[in-house]
Structure 1
Amino acid sequence: MEKAKVYFTDFRVKVGTPQTEKLKRLCIAAGIKNINMEGKFVAIKMHFGELGNLAYLRPQYAKAVADLVKEQGGIPFLTDCNTLYPGSRKHALEHLDCANYNGFNPTTTGCQIIIADGLRGTDEVEVPVKNAEYCKTAKIGRAIMDADIVISLAHFKGHEMTGFGGCVKNLGMGGGSRAGKMEQHSSGKCKVNEELCRGCRRCAKECGSNAITYENNKAFIHEDICKGCGRCIGACAFDAISNEQWDASDLLDRKMAEYAQAICQDRPTFHINMAMDISPNCDCHGDNDAPILPNLGMFASFDPIAVDQAAVDACQKATPIRNSQLGDNLAAAGEHHHDVFLDNNPHVNWEETLIHGEKIGLGTRQYELVTIK
Structure 2
Amino acid sequence: METAKVYYTDFRVDVGTSLLTKLKRLCVRAGFQDIELDGRFVAIKMHFGELGNMAFIRPQYVRVLADLVKEKGGIPFLTDCNTLYPGSRRHAPEHLDCANLNGFNPTTTGCQIIIGDGLKGTDEVEVPIKNARVLKTAKIGRAVMDADVFVSFAHFKGHESTGFGGAVKNIGMGCGSRAGKMEQHSSGKVAVHEELCKACHRCAKECGSNAISYGEDRKARIDEELCKGCGRCIGSCSFNALYNEQWDANDILDRKMAEYAQAVVQDRPCFHINMVMDVSPWCDCHGENDAPVLPNIGMFASLDPIALDQACVDACMKATPLPDSQLTDHRAKAEKHGHVFDDLNPDSMWEETLIHAEKIGMGTRQYELIKVK
Q: TM-score range by the shorter chain?
A: 0.7 to 0.9
For residues 211-222 of structure 1, what are the structure 2 equivalents within 5 Å? Answer: 211=193, 213=195
- Asked if the contact 2:161/2:347 (under 8 Å) is kept, the reply is no
How big is the shift at 1:337? 3.9
Query: In the superposition, relative to structure 1, how do residues 188 and 279 fare at CA in structure 2: closer, same or farther (>3 Å)?
Result: farther
One-letter code aligned to 1:371: K
Deviations 1:80-100 (A, max 9, x none): 000000000000000000000
Deviations 1:315-357 (A, max 9, x none): 000001121111100112x343421101000021100000000
1:123 is aligned to 123
Q: Distance in 1 between matches of 2:13 and 2:66?
A: 21
Query: In the superposition, relative to structure 1, how do residues 244 and 141 fare at CA in structure 2: closer, same or farther (>3 Å)?
Result: closer
Q: Distance in 1 between matches of 2:251 and 2:195?
A: 28
What SS class does the counterpart of residue 7 from structure 1 fall into? strand
1:56 is aligned to 56
2:296 is aligned to 295
One-letter code aligned to 2:167: C
- Asked if the contact 2:186/2:246 (under 8 Å) is kept, the reply is no
How big is the shift at 1:154? 0.1
2:355 is aligned to 355
How big is the shift at 1:134? 1.4
Q: Distance in 1 between matches of 2:111 and 2:129?
A: 30
What SS class does the counterpart of residue 253 from structure 1 fall into? helix
2:213 is aligned to none
Query: In the superposition, relative to structure 1, how do residues 108 and 210 fare at CA in structure 2: closer, same or farther (>3 Å)?
Result: farther
Q: Distance in 1 between matches of 2:341 and 2:188?
A: 21
One-letter code aligned to 1:79: T
1:199 is aligned to none
Q: Distance in 1 between matches of 2:280 and 2:64?
A: 23
What SS class does the counterpart of residue 138 from structure 2 fall into? strand
1:68 is aligned to 68
1:105 is aligned to 105
- Asked if the contact 1:85/1:209 (under 8 Å) is kept, the reply is no
Deviations 1:181-208 (A, max 9, x none): 000001479xxxxxxxxxxxxxxxxxx9
Q: Distance in 2 between matches of 1:300 and 1:27?
A: 7
Deviations 1:222-279 (A, max 9, x none): 9989x8x9xxxxxxxxxxxxx987x710000000000000000000000000000000
2:84 is aligned to 84
Q: Distance in 1 between matches of 2:84 and 2:65?
A: 28
For residues 304-343 of structure 1, what are the structure 2 equivalents within 5 Å? Answer: 304-332=305-333, 334-343=334-343
- Asked if the contact 1:187/1:252 (under 8 Å) is kept, the reply is no
One-letter code aligned to 1:331: A
- Asked if the contact 1:187/1:251 (under 8 Å) is kept, the reply is no
One-letter code aligned to 2:99: A
1:253 aligns with 2:254: yes
What SS class does the counterpart of residue 126 from structure 1 fall into? strand
Q: Distance in 2 between matches of 1:209 and 1:268?
A: 40
What TM-score results when the alignment is normalised by the length of structure 1?
0.85
Structure 2, unaligned stretches of length 5 or more? 197-220, 232-244
What SS class does the counterpart of residue 97 from structure 1 fall into? helix
Number of aligned residues: 332
Deviations 1:117-172 (A, max 9, x none): 00000000000000011121000000000000000000000000000000000000
What SS class does the counterpart of residue 351 from structure 1 fall into? helix
Q: Distance in 2 between matches of 1:244 and 1:290?
A: 31
Q: Distance in 2 between matches of 1:297 and 1:16?
A: 19
1:217 is aligned to none
1:154 is aligned to 154
Query: In the superposition, relative to structure 1, how do residues 366 and 180 fare at CA in structure 2: closer, same or farther (>3 Å)?
Result: same
1:202 is aligned to none
How big is the shift at 1:17? 1.4
1:273 aligns with 2:274: yes
Query: In the superposition, relative to structure 1, how do residues 70 and 209 fare at CA in structure 2: closer, same or farther (>3 Å)?
Result: farther
One-letter code aligned to 1:55: A
Percent of aligned pairs with the same residue? 72
- Asked if the contact 1:336/1:343 (under 8 Å) is kept, the reply is no
Greater than 6 Å deviation, 4+ residue runs: 222-225
One-letter code aligned to 1:93: P
How big is the shift at 1:15? 1.4
What SS class does the counterpart of residue 175 from structure 2 fall into? coil
- Asked if the contact 2:7/2:372 (under 8 Å) is kept, the reply is yes
One-letter code aligned to 2:146: D
Q: Distance in 1 between matches of 2:317 and 2:79?
A: 30
Deviations 1:292-335 (A, max 9, x none): 10000000000010000000000000001121111100112x34
- Asked if the contact 1:163/1:341 (under 8 Å) is kept, the reply is yes
What SS class does the counterpart of residue 120 from structure 2 fall into? coil
How big is the shift at 1:211? 3.8
Q: Distance in 1 between matches of 2:80 and 2:283?
A: 15
For residues 193-204 of structure 1, what are the structure 2 equivalents within 5 Å? Answer: none
What TM-score results when the alignment is normalised by the length of structure 2?
0.85
Query: In the superposition, relative to structure 1, how do residues 176 and 115 fare at CA in structure 2: closer, same or farther (>3 Å)?
Result: same
One-letter code aligned to 2:51: L
Q: Distance in 2 between matches of 1:187 and 1:289?
A: 30
